[in-house]
Structure 1
C-alpha cells in the first residue's frame, strides 16, 4: 500500500480555503462596513460565525466523519464552494452572511478530517508530517486572507471574488480526492463523547483550549494592545504576518521531529513557557522585541496543534478521529473565551499580556502533567498495526 500524498495535499488546500473564508473580511472591515451599509460590529459577525458554529457542530461532524468519511468530506468541500459562490452572487451583507454560514458549517468537517485523512491515506510513519501539512494549510490560509485584503485595499468585490475562486478550485480538488479509495484502515467508529473518559484527553483538550485561545486573542487584539505604546496598525500587521509565516515553518519541522523522539508533551510544555516569556516581552518592551519574539512565538505556538494531533493519532489510531473533533472543539471554545477576556482588558494592555502569559504557564503545567503520567507510550499502536496490517476502510 502506497501513501497518497496528493489526497492529503488536496484537503490541506481546503483548509486554506476555510481560513480565507473565515478571515476574508478581517483586513477590510472598515471598507466592508461602508460597502454594505452596516456597522463594523456587523462585519465582525462575518468572522464570529465560524467559531460559534464550530463549537456547535464539532461532535456531529466527528460522528459523520467516522461513519461516512468520503461522503462527509465531499459535502464539506461542496459547502466551501457554495459559500464562496453565494458571497459573489448575492452582493449584500446578508448574502455575505449566508455564504459565511455555509463555509462555517464546513469548517468542523474539514478541520476534524486532518487526522482521519492522514490515517486513511498515509503509512503510519508518515502520518505526523501529513497531520502537520493539514494543520499548516490553515495557517497558510490566514496568511493569504490577510495578504489579499492588504494587497487589494478598499475593493470589497475583488477581495471576495478572489476568496471565492480559491474556495471553488480547492473544492473541485477535494471532490476529486474523495474518489480515491483509502489505502489504510481507520479502525472502528467511536463516539466522540465516549472518548472524554480516555486517559489524558481532557488534559490535552485543556492545553489546546489555552493555546488556541492565546493565538486567537493575539490575532484579534494585537493592534489595539500595541497602539498605546506607539506601534501602528501596519507594524502590528507585520508582526502578525511574521508570526504566521514562522508558524507554517514550525508545522513542517516540529511535529515530525517530536514524533520521532516521542517528546510531544515536552514540546507542548516548552511552547507554554515560550508563550509566557514572549507575552511579557510584548507587554513590556514591544518596540525593542516585537520582530524578534513574534516569529519565535509563531514557530512554537502554531506548531503545537499538529504536535497534539499527531500525538493523539499515534497513541490510538482507532480513537484519533473523535479525539481530534473534541480537541478542535476545545480550541475554538478557547478562542472565544480568551479573546473575550482580553477584549475586556484593552484599556490595560500590560494586564492583558500578563493574563496571556499566565495562561501560557498554565498550559505548560498541564503539558508537564501529561508527560509525567506517560499518556503517550513509547512504541504506540502503530507498531502493532505495522506488524499485523490494517483493515480496509469502511466507506
Structure 2
C-alpha cells in the first residue's frame, strides 16, 4: 500500500492542461493571422504576397534556431519557467503588433518575437503530459495539447477575414494582442510545474540528460523514420495553411471560400486529434494509427490539389486535416516512448523542427511555381 501512495493522479492536471492549451492556441493564432488575408495584407502594407508569406514563414525560420535551446530549457528548468518564457513573449509581442499595426517592418519584428516564444510552448506538450498524467492518459493529453494548435489555427483562419472586413486590419491585430495578454496571464496564474506526488512510478519519469538524449536518438531507427514522416507531413501542412488563399484563388475561389476550405481542414484536424489519440490509448497501439492517418492524408491532399469544385476540395481538406493532424499527437507520444530515456522536450522538438525545415522549403517552392 505504501508503494501505491507514492504516486497518484490529481484533478488539477486538467486545469494545467487547459492553461497550457490557451497559450498554445493564441501563439498559433498569431502565426496564421496573415495567411487567410494575404491579398488584403499585401495591399495594406504595400508589399508583395511573398512578404506577407514571410510573416508566417518567420516562425519556421526562427524555430530552426531556437528549437534545441528551448527543448534544453524545458528539460532543465521545467514547464513553469520555459513555457512561461514563451507565454511572456507571445503576450508582449502579440500586443506590440496591435500598437504598430500600420508598419510592416515593426510588425515583422513583433512576429519574430512571438516566433521565438513558439518552441518554448510547443515543445513542452509531451513534458506537460509526463509531469501530470498517468501513462494510460498521455496520448490523450498530448492529443488535447495538440488540439489547441488546431483550435488556434482555426480561430485565425475563421476570425481574421471577418474581423478585417468588419472592423479593419489594425483593429483585428489589436483584438489578437489583447487576447494574447489574456492567455499569458492565464498560464502564469494556473500553470504549475508538477503535482505534489508523481502520476506514475518514478522509473517511467526518469530521463537522460538532454545532449546524451540527442546521441541516443540518432541510433533509433523508428524515430528516424518518424522524423521523415514529420518532415513531409508537417511541411505540407505548414505550406498549405500559409498559401491557402493563393492556392485556391487562381481556381476561382473567393476569400470566403478559401477561408471555409481552411476551416474544413482544421475542423477535420480537431476531430481527428480527439478521436485517434483516444483510440491509440485504448488499444495501446501507435504505429497502426500513424500508418492509417498517412494513407488518409494522401487521399485528402489529392482532393485539395485536383478537386473540380468547392465541395470536393472541402471534403479533401477535411480528410487531409483529419488524417494529417491526428497523426501529430500520436507521433509525439510515440517519439517520446521510442526514444526513452531521452527527454520528452528533446524528441518533441526535433519532430517539429523537421516540419519547420520542410515547411520553409515547400513554401518557397510553392511560391516559385505560382
TM-score, scaled relative to structure 2: 0.86
Conserved 8 A contact 1:255-1:310: no
Question: C-alpha offsets along residues 15-44 of structure 1, whole Å, 9 cap, x if unaligned?
Answer: 111111112222333443444444443333
Match of 1:375 in 2: none
Q: CA deviation at 1:203?
A: 1.0
Conserved 8 A contact 1:278-1:297: yes
Distance 1:239 1:39, change over 3 A: closer
User: Which deviates more from structure 2 when the two are superposed, residues 278-287 or residues 154-163?
Assistant: 278-287
Q: CA deviation at 1:81?
A: 0.8
From 157, 169, 188, the equivalent of 2:182 is 169
Q: Distance in 2 between matches of 1:43 and 1:230?
A: 21
Conserved 8 A contact 1:205-1:327: yes
Match of 1:384 in 2: none
User: Which deviates more from structure 2 when the two are superposed, residues 272-281 or residues 46-55?
Assistant: 272-281
Q: Distance in 1 between matches of 2:40 and 2:89?
A: 26
User: Which deviates more from structure 2 when the two are superposed, residues 39-48 or residues 76-85?
Assistant: 39-48
Q: CA deviation at 1:260?
A: 2.5
Q: Distance in 1 between matches of 2:315 and 2:22?
A: 30
Secondary structure of 1:216 counterpart: helix
Q: Distance in 2 between matches of 1:21 and 1:253?
A: 26
Conserved 8 A contact 2:293-2:327: yes
Question: C-alpha offsets along residues 144-165 of structure 1, whole Å, 9 cap, x if unaligned?
Answer: 1122212122512211111112
Secondary structure of 1:153 counterpart: helix
Conserved 8 A contact 2:230-2:354: yes
Question: Residue 190 in 1 paired to residue 219 in 2?
Answer: no
Q: Distance in 1 between matches of 2:99 and 2:329?
A: 36
Q: Distance in 1 between matches of 2:194 and 2:353?
A: 28
Question: Residue 321 in 1 paired to residue 345 in 2?
Answer: yes
Match of 1:345 in 2: 369
Conserved 8 A contact 2:100-2:106: yes
Q: Distance in 2 between matches of 1:301 and 1:104?
A: 23
Match of 1:75 in 2: 85
Conserved 8 A contact 1:24-1:159: no
Match of 1:245 in 2: 267
Q: CA deviation at 1:324?
A: 0.7
Match of 1:85 in 2: 95
TM-score, scaled relative to structure 1: 0.81
User: Which deviates more from structure 2 when the two are superposed, residues 270-279 or residues 14-23?
Assistant: 270-279
Conserved 8 A contact 1:229-1:286: no
Q: Distance in 2 between matches of 1:86 and 1:221?
A: 25
Match of 2:354 in 1: 330
Secondary structure of 1:187 counterpart: coil
Question: Residue 44 in 1 paired to residue 53 in 2?
Answer: yes
Conserved 8 A contact 1:259-1:311: no
Distance 1:246 1:111, change over 3 A: same
Match of 1:8 in 2: 17
From 303, 309, 319, the equivalent of 2:332 is 309
Distance 1:285 1:17, change over 3 A: closer
Task: Kindly report the root-mean-square deviation, in angstroms, between the aligned alpha carbons of the 2 structures.
Answer: 2.2
Give 5+ residue unaligned stretches, structure 1. 347-395
Residues 275-294 of structure 1: pairs in structure 2 closer than 5 A: 275-287=297-309, 289-294=312-317
Q: CA deviation at 1:316?
A: 5.3
Question: Residue 235 in 1 paired to residue 257 in 2?
Answer: yes
Match of 2:3 in 1: none
Match of 1:63 in 2: 72
Q: Distance in 1 between matches of 2:243 and 2:49?
A: 15
Conserved 8 A contact 1:28-1:156: no
Conserved 8 A contact 1:114-1:131: yes
User: Which deviates more from structure 2 when the two are superposed, residues 331-340 or residues 52-61?
Assistant: 331-340
Q: Distance in 2 between matches of 1:271 and 1:111?
A: 21
Distance 1:146 1:269, change over 3 A: same
Match of 1:138 in 2: 149
